[in-house]
Amino acid sequence: GDVYKRQYYEATFVRISRDIILQEAGNFQAPEFWTNRSSIGDKMKDALDKALMENGANCVSLQMLKIDLPETYENKIVLTQVEVQKKTMKEFEQNATLIRAQLQVDISESNRTIANISAYGQSQGYVIRQQATAKAMNNIITAESTVYKAAMDIIGPVSYTHLTLPTKAQVQISVVAVSLKKK
């Protein structure tokens, strides 16, 4: 008796399950089984659980392991998915190329900015050096003038036959003849 009942219930549950799954599968387009497989499985499980509850059973889980479609139709789906993947890869490649190009533009702009800053710094350094040299020369001339005036006040007029003006290297004043007069 128990074996008969078990076989009877088992056959009934298999028949109900097959009918509900086929009925639910008809609600979806074949490509959706690739793109929304998990969602479709959840909907089939809910429908199957509802039908089995009416017969005193329930569906704990449902996993779609294999979906049999006509070979030509399945091949078309595979080709469609391959084309979708190729398109996606092309988009990724285009985005990568665009990013690389933008990076090159950014690098070029940064290098140009660096070159401009460097050139400006060098020019400012040159100006500062020239100003410092001019100020130093001016200070030397002023100091020599002050010393000369002080010497004139002490020793009186001096006749020069040769005078070397200050240069970057060394300042030299040559006095060939000096006539001293007492005041």
Query: From the first residue on, what is the mean pLDDT of each consecutive set of 10 residues in the chain (183 residues)?
Result: 60 88 85 82 92 88 77 79 92 96 96 95 94 92 85 68 52 46 50
Q: What is the pLDDT of residue 137?
A: 92
Q: What is the pLDDT of residue 176?
A: 42
Q: What is the pLDDT of residue 95?
A: 96
Q: What is the pLDDT of residue 123?
A: 94
Q: What is the pLDDT of residue 11?
A: 84
pTM over 0.85: no
Q: Helices marked H in the chain — which ranges?
A: 2-25, 32-35, 37-53, 71-155
Distance CA 95, CA 101 (A): 10
Q: Per the structure block, which two tokens stand in for 176?
A: 């060939």
Distance CA 143, CA 77 (A): 97
Helix pair angle (37-53, 2-25), 10° resolution: 140
The residue count for the chain: 183
Distance CA 19, CA 44 (A): 11
Per the CB < 8 A criterion, the answer to whether 141 and 170 are in contact is no
Per the CB < 8 A criterion, the answer to whether 9 and 51 are in contact is no
Residue 37 has phi, psi (to 5 degrees) of -55, -45
> Which residue type sits at 83?
E
